[in-house]
Copies of this chain bind each other. A is one copy, B any other.
Amino acid sequence: MSYFKHHVFFCCNQRPDGESCCNALGATTAQTYAKDRIGQLGLKGKGKIRINKAGCMDRCDDGPVLVVYPEGVWYQYVDTNDVEEIIQEHLINGRVVERLKLPSA
């Protein structure tokens, strides 16, 4: 069993002006949204869900990205509506959101 049932990492990397990066595409806003929602829903903590910021996860062309471990499912999201769908479908109901899922190989 994993310490967290779902451990979610948002790439929040900020590159210098003009270079494309997850943070320029709303990553910090999305991560804050997810963290707050998981708290509101009472799903935060050991055995449950953890929402983290991470540095560059090296999938810049697919950004903004997040990854859910231990299952290793990567998503590209556009806005907080997408993040909410990932929370409801994947994190709560255990169903991968196929329309937002990125290739794993």
Contact = CB atoms under 8 A, between A and B. Distances in A.
Interface of A: 1-3, 7, 9, 45-47, 50, 52-59, 67, 69-72, 74, 103-105
B3 A74 contact: yes
A84 B10 CA distance: 27
Given A53-B54, A72-B2, A74-B3, A47 B105 contact: yes
In the complex, the count of this chain's copies comes to: 2
Given A69-B69, A72-B69, A105 B52 contact: no
Binding site secondary structure of chain A: loop
Contacts of A46: 58, 105
Contacts of A7: 57, 67, 69, 72
Contacts of A67: 3, 7
The 9 A-B pairs of least Cβ separation, nearest first, read A69-B69, A2-B72, A53-B55, A70-B72, A70-B70, A52-B54, A54-B54, A3-B104, A1-B105
